[in-house]
Amino acid sequence: MNKEIITDNLKVEPEYEWLISFDDLNSLVKTLEFQSQITTLHFDTRDFGFLQGNKKIPVDLSIVSKQKSRKYFFYDTIEDVLAVIKDLCERSSARDDNGNIKPTKWRLIQFEGEGEMFSSNWQMKYLRCYKSDYGWVICDDKDYILRKSILRCDINKEFLNAH
């Protein structure tokens, strides 16, 4: 694993194998030598720091794992999940006058349209990603499995950096 990304002297709770802080989501994919061992990713959407681990999935997949439903909920690879997270990070980041992304210390993500009822009251504060036999799912902070379409909804800019 790339020692520039992981801080060796950081004390981490035993249930987490690694604690990674990053500025560039692209570099994360290149450093995941142990992808097959990673089964959970927990993102804090205020600053997009995250934890990764290898715990068993705590979510009931019985409804979304039916053959007809899978395409609406499951991502095939960890790279697919990280692409969604990167997109959310970029769409929710502050921009300078030229449209370039500026460092954003924290944010409140609330979606518009279809995603509005799923993202009020800090429900998107944490995104929890779990690997299963069917692929990866992305959940809100209450472990409610999110449809792919919700994560593609427009972000309400009024509340993004209002708190």
Contacts of 121 (CB under 8 A, 6+ apart): none
Residue 46's pLDDT is: 82
Residue 146's pLDDT is: 94
Who has greater pLDDT, 77 or 163? 77
pLDDT tens digits, residue range 18-65?
Answer: 334 444 454 455 455 556 778 888 888 887 777 778 888 889 999 898
| Residue 49 structure tokens | 């720091």
pTM: 0.76
In degrees to the nearest 10, what's the CA dihedral of 54, 44, 62, 118?
A: 180
Residue 117's pLDDT is: 73
Dist. CA 80–CA 84, nearest whole Å: 7
Residue 32's pLDDT is: 56
Quick count: other Cβ atoms within 10 Å of Cβ 129? 23
Distances (CA, A) of 58 to 3, 69, 110, 130, 144: 30, 19, 25, 8, 11
pLDDT tens digits, residue range 76-127?
Answer: 988 899 889 888 888 887 777 887 776 666 778 888 887 777 777 788 889 9
Residue 161's pLDDT is: 65
Residue 75's pLDDT is: 96
Per-residue confidence band for 69, with pLDDT thresholds at 50, 70 and 90: very high
Residue 64's pLDDT is: 92
Dist. CA 52–CA 20, nearest whole Å: 8
Residue 160's pLDDT is: 72
